[in-house]
């Protein structure tokens, strides 16, 4: 399964089988996590055989069952921490999908108190990603239309369309899809979040998807952070 197939196959899964993650699969995940921590200056941690964080009322409220593994996404508090957490977290999510695992990003419906992770000075836990062998593969989310999610003069370049198709497959909190991608000139893409909870996290995830579809050789990200609803 290549990364584009992984994006199409990935859906949030909340019910898991008891099957543990084999050692060689853990090892591959750990290598990717180490690379993401280096490149993204994050402190992402793989927690296996640790059912505590998903055994309380919040997890039941969120319809989770059988979650014994998760990835804790943490890093030093900074303005762009959420966006980096989204970008690199999704890179790990898509590798997990390629390795035959299922996932679900979880910001709210788990127990922060019972979660097992470590923090260094100045760090915070952003959120976790549930991980394991799903009882089902989940279902595709409903999506806003491409026209609602981007601005691009006619004719839309093929690479931009491929990027948008992947961006539309990105998971966002409560499937809010509060993002806007604008093609400025020939090859500059401005990614903006409409303000709201987890919008910056979502934007990081969306930027990772867009880059995989569009090809990083075809465009550059614009260097500006104006919220889409403030222009
Ligand atoms: C930043 C973020 C936070 C999320 N938090 C939760 C959560 O607390 N509980 C939950 O059940 N799902 C959570 N989700 C999963 C979303 O509901 C899900 O990604 C969205 O509905 C799209 O569905 P899909 O992932 O199947 O494409 C979260 C997703 C993201 C990206």
Read off φ and ψ for residue 216, nearest 5 degrees: -65, -20
Measured in Å, residue 74 CA sits from the centre of ligand 1 at 18
pTM: 0.97
Q: Whose CA is nearest to atom 17 of ligand 1?
A: 174
Contact 56, 114 (CB under 8 A): yes
Task: Tell me the pLDDT of the chain (231 aa) as tens digits.
Answer: 999 999 999 999 999 999 999 999 999 999 999 999 999 999 999 999 999 999 999 888 899 999 999 999 999 999 999 999 999 999 999 999 999 999 999 999 999 999 999 999 999 999 999 999 999 999 999 999 999 999 999 999 999 999 999 999 999 999 999 999 999 999 999 999 988 899 999 999 999 999 999 999 999 999 866 666 665
Cα distance between residue 180 and residue 144, in whole Å: 11
The pLDDT score that the predictor gives to residue 146 is: 98
Q: Whose CA is nearest to atom 20 of ligand 1?
A: 175
Helix pair angle (81-98, 199-214), 10° resolution = 50
The pLDDT score that the predictor gives to residue 154 is: 94
Distance of CA 63 to the CA centre of its chain: 20
Range list of β-strands (E), the chain: 45-47, 69-76, 102-106, 123-132, 150-151, 179-184, 188-193, 220-221
Domains and CATH numbers, the chain: 3-132 (3.40.109.10), 146-220 (3.40.109.30)
Structure letter (DSSP) for residue 109: S
* 177 within ligand 1 shell (Cβ under 6 A): no
Measured in Å, residue 180 CA sits from the centre of ligand 1 at 19
Integer CA distances (angstroms), 190 to 41, 78, 88, 158, in order: 23, 21, 19, 17
* 134 within ligand 1 shell (Cβ under 6 A): no
């Amino acid at each position: 399964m290549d990364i584009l197939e992984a994006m199409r196959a990935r859906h949030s899964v909340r019910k898991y089988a008891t099957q543990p993650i084999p050692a060689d699969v853990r090892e591959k995940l750990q290598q990717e996590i180490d690379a993401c921590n280096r490149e993204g200056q994050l402190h992402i941690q793989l927690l296996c055989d640790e059912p505590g964080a998903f055994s309380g009322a919040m997890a039941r409220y969120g319809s989770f069952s059988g979650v014994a593994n998760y990835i804790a996404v943490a890093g030093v508090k900074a303005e762009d921490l959420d966006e980096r957490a989204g970008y690199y977290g999704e890179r790990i999510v898509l590798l997990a999908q390629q390795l035959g695992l299922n996932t679900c990003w979880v910001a709210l419906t788990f127990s922060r108190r019972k979660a097992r992770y470590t923090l260094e000075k100045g760090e915070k836990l952003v959120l976790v990603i549930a991980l394991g062998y799903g009882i089902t593969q989940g279902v595709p989310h409903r999506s806003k239309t491409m026209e609602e999610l981007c601005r691009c003069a006619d004719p839309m370049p093929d690479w931009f369309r491929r990027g948008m198709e992947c961006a539309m497959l990105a998971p966002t909190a409560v499937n809010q899809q509060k993002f806007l991608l604008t093609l400025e000139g020939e090859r500059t893409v401005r990614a903006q979040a409409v303000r709201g909870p987890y919008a910056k996290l979502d934007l990081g995830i969306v930027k990772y998807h867009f880059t995989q579809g569009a090809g990083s050789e075809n465009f550059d990200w614009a260097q500006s952070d104006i919220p889409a609803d403030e222009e």
